[in-house]
Structure 1
Amino acid sequence: MQKNSGRIVILGTGGTIAGKAAQAGDNVGYTAGQLTVADLLTSVPALKDWPLQLEQVAQLDSKDMSHAVWQQLAQRVQAHLDDPEVAGVVITHGTDTLEETAWLLHRVLMPTKPVVLTAAMRPATSLQPDGPQNLLDAVTLAAQPGVQGVLAMLAGAVYDAAGVRKWHPYRIDAFSGGDDGPVARLVEGQLLPLRPWPTGMALGVDVLQGDVAHWPKVAVVTSHAGLDAELLQAQLAAWQALGLAGVVFEGTGNGTLHVAIENAAAALKAAGCEVLRTSRCQGGSVVGAPAGALPSAGELGPGKARVELLLRALKRRSA
């Protein structure tokens, strides 16, 4: 297997991959983020002789991922990417918000080196943990010549930041790449590319500067049967009083929205609040642009769409 001569940096953030349960047979009742990234390496003897650099950025359950951790993580990734001796970066992460972190790093960094997020659906104490293989695969991918962009390496499949999504709550193969599928597969250490690596123009890590407590506020509102217009109006009014900068409306089907949301969204847009519509469906993308419809987030789910609006608002603020 050919690989780059530079070292691979592994940044730990916690998650199930670093989780522990009281009993080895318990794959649900565990506590995430208990092991350090150095602890994780002890379960992957195949990486013993690799040129690795370890750094613990955070130690949390990714359901609790914060803007502050995002800010620090992006800055640390950029610092390592700027080091000519670093071939790539691997990030151990929880599965719940992995896709959101991937999109943020993709939009901010657009790296020409690989930045590979990996995770696990079972804790490290499981009878059959999936974390060690995923970590080995992620480091292997990050060391491959020619690989670039923000990627997710999970259960043998490589996904780009735009397409990756968690579609199942507990299965080992809990992730998909949307309609386009994976970018590549890794089979017994051999990389099988399927599509071009992601590219684009970076916003730059400086867009994430400043006190995160004062970052623009972006919310997600879900459309559903029986939506109460009075509650919606009260909720949006309270948010606007706090300086609401954007709202993602998670629609039904092909991004369709309750009439109460359509009316409220028109008022928000008139007030200078940016809006996007997405779908609560786990697969596919929002397609088409019916007359009068709100701007579509395309293939982005509600979590990534919220990140997108946040970054747009930060960019406007820094302009």
Structure 2
Amino acid sequence: MQSKVADLIVILGTGGTIAGKAAQANDNVGYKAGEIGVEALIAGVPGLSTFRLEAQQVAQLDSKDMDFQTWRRLALAVEAQLTRDEVRGVLITHGTDTIEETAYFLHRVLAPRKPVVLTAAMRPATALQLDGPQNMLDAAHLVNDAAAAGVMVCVAGQVYAADQVQKAHSYRVDAFRGRDGTVLAQVEEGQVRWLSQALPGPLAIGTAALPTEGAAWPRIEIVLNHANADGRLVRLLVHEGVEGLVVAGTGNGTLSAALEQALLDAQAAGVQVLRSTRCDGGPVAENGRGLPSAGALSPVKARVELLLRLLGTPPQS
């Protein structure tokens, strides 16, 4: 007997602007995120009726308030759905503010072979001109595409890899870009046109490596290099018991002499440090001065990477 082809798409809702409401339809700023449930979002996108769907509300929050416990619940929910033979893939509705961090977290923890696609909106569900419904429909077509695999973000018709996507504009509907301009695919009228292929993901570290519900996670902070950076903030954070530091350096991860020395002292005291860049693109090369590079990871993704390292997982190769 021939086995049935997986065709079920599971949509996991986490809130965000895509599920937001404003008092007036012309208000795209003064809204409250995470007000509409995922079932209602699905019902508002007629094109989704052509897909076989299931939905689950994992969280209902503004993604600026995303936290580690929600990440854990989301990872467990995604993992559970991907083990089902009938599930083609998972679509996650999310807020735009931290979608790039959640995507990278799921990429490192699960490294799924099936597609896991995150989508979002820059305008609330009550806006005059919506972007959320089209983004959800595009994301469903992407999940359903035979070539789709791994964690991706699909917004404004563009598809980005989890380790490359970043929010680059505060307000525009097309607010996202790929680091160094990388785009995996475009979704055009329900058709996915692949432009490049994502690099193989890391080995899955698995959800068992995550702290249990309610347990403490490592404390990691991001500091910035700038004119007259004196390293005082680093010393204060070390005094407060920080376990990891990501520094967003200038250019190729360059640092003022005082900030660099403070970070070297922190590292010598047992604090793990990664050196990234505040530039929008480009990797950080190793410079032999003792502070390891975060490679091509943005500061927020380097923070996720360092978080997972402190939980005892191997670094991304």
Percent identity of equivalent pairs: 53
Change beyond 3 A, Cα 1:279–1:212: farther
Change beyond 3 A, Cα 1:129–1:54: same
| More displaced 10-residue stretch of structure 1: 73-82 or 221-230 | 221-230
Q: Report the secondary structure of 2:107's partner residue.
A: helix
CA deviations on 1:203-242 (whole Å, 9 max, x unpaired) are 112111324542221111122223344444223311x2xx
CA deviations on 1:256-295 (whole Å, 9 max, x unpaired) are 11222211111122122211111112x2123322231521
Q: Report the secondary structure of 2:311's partner residue.
A: helix
Q: Report the secondary structure of 1:249's partner residue.
A: strand
What's the TM-score, normalizing by structure 2? 0.93
**Which amino acid in structure 1 is aligned with residue 207 of structure 2?**
V
Alignment match, 2:37: 36
What does 1:172-211 correspond to in 2, within 5 Å?
Answer: 172-200=173-201, 201-211=203-213
Q: Report the secondary structure of 2:151's partner residue.
A: strand
What does 1:252-271 correspond to in 2, within 5 Å?
Answer: 252-271=250-269
Distance between the aligned counterparts of 1:296 and 1:58, measured in 2? 34
Which ranges of structure 2 fall in alignment gaps of 5 or more residues?
Answer: none
Q: Report the secondary structure of 1:214's partner residue.
A: coil
What does 1:236-247 correspond to in 2, within 5 Å?
Answer: 236-238=238-240, 240=241, 244-247=242-245
2:303 pairs, out of 306, 314, 319, with 306
**Which amino acid in structure 1 is aligned with residue 135 of structure 2?**
N
Q: Is the 8 A contact 2:286 2:293 kept in 1?
A: yes
Which ranges of structure 1 fall in alignment gaps of 5 or more residues?
Answer: none
Aligned-residue Cα RMSD (Å) equals: 1.6
Change beyond 3 A, Cα 1:291–1:221: same
CA deviations on 1:56-103 (whole Å, 9 max, x unpaired) are 000000000000000000000000000011000000000000000000
Distance between the aligned counterparts of 1:311 and 1:7, measured in 2? 31
1:295 aligns with 2:292: yes
Q: Is the 8 A contact 2:7 2:52 kept in 1?
A: yes
What's the TM-score, normalizing by structure 1? 0.93
Deviation, 1:302, is 1.3
Distance between the aligned counterparts of 1:72 and 1:98, measured in 2? 15
| More displaced 10-residue stretch of structure 1: 187-196 or 156-165 | 187-196
Alignment match, 1:84: 85
Q: Report the secondary structure of 2:113's partner residue.
A: coil
Alignment match, 2:172: 171
Distance between the aligned counterparts of 2:151 and 2:259, measured in 1? 34
Alignment match, 1:119: 120
1:234 pairs, out of 230, 233, 236, with 236
**Which amino acid in structure 2 is aligned with residue 266 of structure 1?**
L
Alignment match, 2:223: 221
Q: Report the secondary structure of 1:315's partner residue.
A: coil
Distance between the aligned counterparts of 2:214 and 2:183, measured in 1? 33
Q: Is the 8 A contact 2:15 2:60 kept in 1?
A: yes
Deviation, 1:29, is 1.0
Distance between the aligned counterparts of 1:288 and 1:228, measured in 2? 23
Distance between the aligned counterparts of 1:262 and 1:288, measured in 2? 16
Alignment match, 2:101: 100
Alignment match, 1:57: 58
Distance between the aligned counterparts of 2:290 and 2:259, measured in 1? 11
Q: Is the 8 A contact 1:68 1:212 kept in 2?
A: yes
Q: Report the secondary structure of 2:312's partner residue.
A: helix
Distance between the aligned counterparts of 1:11 and 1:303, measured in 2? 23
CA deviations on 1:94-117 (whole Å, 9 max, x unpaired) are 000000000000001111100000
CA deviations on 1:133-163 (whole Å, 9 max, x unpaired) are 0000011110111310000001001100011
Q: Is the 8 A contact 1:67 1:212 kept in 2?
A: no
| More displaced 10-residue stretch of structure 1: 307-316 or 11-20 | 307-316
Distance between the aligned counterparts of 2:284 and 2:238, measured in 1? 27
**Which amino acid in structure 1 is aligned with residue 301 of structure 2?**
K
Alignment match, 1:161: 162
